[in-house]
Amino acid sequence: MRPVVLALTLVLLFAGCSILPGAGPAPNLYNLTPKSVFRTEVPEIGFQLVIEEPLAAGGLDSNRIALKPTPTELKYFARARWTERAPKMVQTLIVESFENTGRIVAVGRQVIGLRSDFSLKAELREFQAEYYDGGSVPTVRVRINAKLIRQPRQAIVASQSFEAELRSTGSGMDPIVTAFDEALGKVIKELVVWTMVGMEQAGA
């Protein structure tokens, strides 16, 4: 192939890249924060705990940030993503929040092979911004159902749902993500204290 023809071919090829599917600005990535301050006294626990990855419905089992314009419709924010799938992110934040108490022997994910005394099974049932009133500023809703399991018998010793909702302070992604962080933080704080108290009572 002649050099001039080759050069023209490359120019056309790279020019075509701008119209390929998926081209355009990369989405903004967001992450939430673990909790380290607990209002309620957390008991010191001499047990090991495994945190399983929460289950989630298909619409929430994604790294896309969910919104609901109506109670029966699920959509996603454009050009905005969590840094990983929502259930995986929530699992990481729960593990780190337990570690931040400094009052448990060991806590970790199921995949690390920790030989646990208890396991925490959870389901992420609500994790979206809601626009039910038709306005531009949403309310963020987070709900997690949790079960504390005694090992090795696989016996459920406690079950509880934790829910929080928080009105965003603005319509942009930054205040909306902040509302997600605060709502999930409230749920995680309650979940950590409930779990620690449950382990203390079940292990006594």
Instruction: Tell me how far the alpha carbon of residue 152 is from its chain's centroid.
Output: 28
Give yes or no for a contact between 148 and 202, defined as CB atoms under 8 angstroms apart.
yes
Residues 6+ apart with CB under 8 A from 162: 143, 144, 145, 146, 187, 190, 191, 194
For residues 71 and 167, what is the distance between their CA atoms, to the nearest angstrom?
Answer: 16
pLDDT per residue as tens, the chain (204 positions): 444 444 434 333 334 433 445 567 899 999 999 999 887 788 999 999 999 999 999 999 999 999 999 999 999 999 999 999 999 999 999 999 999 999 999 999 876 667 889 999 999 999 999 999 999 999 999 999 999 999 999 999 999 999 999 999 999 999 999 999 999 999 999 999 999 999 999 985
For residues 65 and 32, what is the distance between their CA atoms, to the nearest angstrom?
Answer: 12
The predicted model scores a pTM of 0.86
> Closest by alpha carbon to 165, among 195, 125, 128?
128
* CATH numbers and ranges of domains, the chain: 3-203 (3.40.50.10610)
For residues 49 and 65, what is the distance between their CA atoms, to the nearest angstrom?
Answer: 29
**Residue 124 in 3-state DSSP?**
strand
